[in-house]
Chains A and B, each alone.
Chain A
Amino acid sequence: MNSISVNPVHTEHHTPLPAHRPLLTPGVWVLLFLMVIGAAFYFYRFIFGLKSVTHLDQQHPWGLWIAVDVATGVALAAGGFTTSALAHIFHREHYHAITRPALLTAMLGYTFVVLGLLADLGRYYNIWHPLWPTMWQGNSVLFEVGICVTIYLNVLYIEFMPIFCERFIGSQRYPRLAQLCGFLYRHLNQVMWLFIIAGVVLSSLHQSSLGNLMVIAPSKMHPLWYTPILSLLFLLSAVMVGFPMVIFESIYASWSLGIKAEVEILGPLSRYIPITAGLYLAFKMGDLVMRNSYVHLWPMDGPVVMFLLEMALPAIALVMLLSNRHRHNARWLFIAALLVVLSVVLNRVNVFLIAYQPPYATKAYVPAFGEFAVTIGLIAALIFCYRVIVNYFPVITHPELSRRS
């Protein structure tokens, strides 16, 4: 196979550049404050154990950290593989401008998934065990998730390597680094197609397996969520949330950096959302009908409301995005994308926390302050890292950035 250029076709209008914005804005100070609180609880947990920070108990082994930091984190990082599939595999060159931010989001997302997982693991120093061949347990769904996430994380770092290298190529300050970067940049691009496809394959595997995790506990799961096709629904929702996440994050970053949102790219991108969301909702409702589990929609208690909300949010976004006017308005785009993102967050929280109903539980699981603090701290740290990297590395492609430089 000929080596395929996966690098954007750079024109004077479409060159990714460092944003070079002032770093310590008031918003960033708030992020830092949240990070410090999160870090305090994070390290407190490592010194005094899970009991001291979390409300996990013998009935509720998985809490907020698994549901949000890990499961939701992986789902929301789906923008990386969906965008790279669209732009690089299906060669929709129009979208090259958004592949780098999406890649950065995915890379940071997965990095923080691992950081969040480290806090939750009781024997965190054994986190390498799934990689050790004598301990491989191929029957375990979690093994599949673990190994795919590990490889994918490395694939993401390799995919990001050219962006890192671009920053240092031709640097006078670090001549040796510049030389190495130049070498890497040239050779990585020749094999990058392998990693791009591997990224999509690995993502589709572990995004679905993440749903398969809870299939092993049929008797403990709320019937509205328990289905043997939970893995398919997870994959479909990951595909669904990929583009909205990119739109959400792109508009959010634009506003934050004080540049105009790139509606001319995000607008056409949003046309895929009604299709993916429709597919997801069709499968979800079809499953509801096929398994006759719609009978559990009444009486309308807490879980049922959560379920309806989770179903309603993408449906609203779907209807909103059918309108051409909405698709070309940054505000509407942002709201629609946010609805889809929220529905997937809700879905992951529902599956891992709300639907999990342990049989002998005497009290419900309510996350402790420390758990919220760590989760919020990790998200704040992710946004902070994004901000820093966007500032100093050529990630964002934007006409306004081009003009200033």
Chain B
Amino acid sequence: MSCSRRDVLRSAGVGLVTLTISGHSALASGPAADPGKVNGVLVDITKCIGCRRCEFACQESAGFEVPPIESFEDKSVMTEPRRPSPGSYTIINQYSNPRDPALPVYAKFNCLHCNDPACMSACLVHAFTKQADGAVIYDPWKCMGCRYCMVACPFQIPTYDYENPLTPQVRKCNLCAHRVPNELPVPACVKICPADVMTYGPRHELIQLAHDNIARYPDRYVDQVYGEHEVGGTSWLYIAGQPFDQIGFLNLPPEAPPRLTETIQHGVFKKFVPPLAWFGLLGAIMHLARPATAKESTPGNQP
């Protein structure tokens, strides 16, 4: 979050815990990422051939032990819809193609890197941060493993190491934020994709590109850019040849979930006035409602 907020925090001091919570809470607001710098990925679902190379590249990039690349040519795993898992941050699912039954449609699922991430708003220890380039990344050292992020995510993306008794992590795509500095700022899945399904670039340009493509090939695409408006917009955008709810995508409203919870939260803590007023009111009642006998009695009754 922004530096000014931090400064307020520091100046408020650690001693008056209750007061500082309020100062922090009241000042925090929506995400501060500059929309011009946010990068994203446009996925053209009509181009995907289901080769699962992105799954390979993702696991390789994440540093997992990866089976040989040829083993990813096995399409039988796609008969059942899968979800991202702690061992694979992205997966390809197969759906039937109403236009040509012989050529199924493949949809890629991974973290969409929301503009206004619910996981980040939910996390109570700042384990999630939205980087300037749009990536929503996770810091396992801050995490306390409450899994509220998994509850909050509208796309049901974060996964968890339930098997690990000591150092479990929330696992999800981090847009390859761990890549080495001199490498291209392109996620591993985008890099390996042979069919050029994914385009990496500034989000606003990708939206333009998506609409251009839809306008140019109205027969090939449905007129929707998934991720342009869903839950406040996402860095990953999708265009497809059939309605998105037929290929495993959720119908989600344009409102970002954190806007409501944070409005309520900051309303309750507005400059810490409501809790203090509540405290003062109760104190006044306590004082004024004293029965006459108690008022005369000496303080601190001894047994």
Contact = CB atoms under 8 A, between A and B. Distances in A.
A46 interface: yes
B145 A122 contact: yes
A136 B286 contact: no
A50 B83 contact: no
A136 B235 CA distance: 26
B152 to A, nearest CB: 4
A61 B279 CA distance: 36
A138 to B, nearest CB: 4
17 contacts: A2-B295, A5-B301, A9-B294, A52-B163, A52-B165, A90-B286, A90-B289, A122-B168, A123-B168, A133-B10, A138-B28, A140-B121, A140-B122, A201-B278, A201-B282, A205-B268, A219-B252
Interface in B279-303: 279, 282-283, 285-287, 289-291, 293-295, 297, 299-301, 303
B294 A133 contact: no
Interface stretch (B13-21, B100-108, B204-212): B13-21
B165 A47 contact: yes
A97 B122 CA distance: 41
Contact of A89 (B163, B168, B289, B291): B289
Interface stretch (A107-115, A210-218, A266-274): A210-218
Interface stretch (B62-70, B153-161, B186-194): B153-161
Contact of B154 (A134, A190, A220): A220
A123 B169 CA distance: 9
B147 A216 contact: no
A144 B262 CA distance: 11
A228 B255 CA distance: 13
Given A58-B85, A228-B264, A219 B144 contact: no
A359 B124 contact: no
Contacts of A248: none
Nearest to A148: B21
Given A45-B165, A122-B144, A122-B147, 17 more contacts: A5-B300, A7-B300, A9-B297, A10-B301, A51-B162, A58-B83, A91-B294, A122-B161, A130-B125, A135-B125, A139-B265, A141-B265, A144-B25, A144-B265, A189-B299, A219-B257, A360-B83
Interface of A: 1-5, 7-10, 15, 45-52, 54, 56-59, 61-62, 85, 88-91, 93, 120-124, 126-127, 129-130, 132-144, 146-147, 151, 166, 169, 186, 189-190, 193, 196-198, 200-201, 204-205, 208-209, 212-220, 228, 231, 356, 358-360
B163 A216 contact: no
Contacts of A129: 124-125, 142, 144
B148 interface: yes
A93 B294 CA distance: 10
B301 A231 contact: no
Interface of B: 9-10, 14, 17-18, 20-21, 24-28, 81, 83, 85, 118, 120-126, 140, 142-148, 150-152, 154, 156, 159-165, 167-168, 250, 252-253, 257-258, 260-262, 264-266, 268-269, 275, 278-279, 282-283, 285-287, 289-291, 293-295, 297, 299-301, 303
A135 B148 CA distance: 16
B160 A122 contact: yes
Contact of B162 (A56, A126, A356): A56
Contacts of B164: 49, 122
A2 B293 CA distance: 14
A366 to B, nearest CB: 16
A126 B125 contact: yes
Given A61-B160, A219-B252, A231 B264 contact: yes
Contacts of A130: 124-125, 144
Contacts of A138: 21, 24-28, 265-266, 269
Contacts of A45: 165
A133 B265 contact: no
Contacts of B144: 121-124, 126-127, 129-130
B99 to A, nearest CB: 25
A143 B165 CA distance: 24
B125 A124 contact: no
Given A126-B125, A360-B83, A89 B261 contact: no
B5 to A, nearest CB: 8
B289 A2 contact: no
B253 to A, nearest CB: 7
A49 B257 contact: no
A198 B148 contact: no
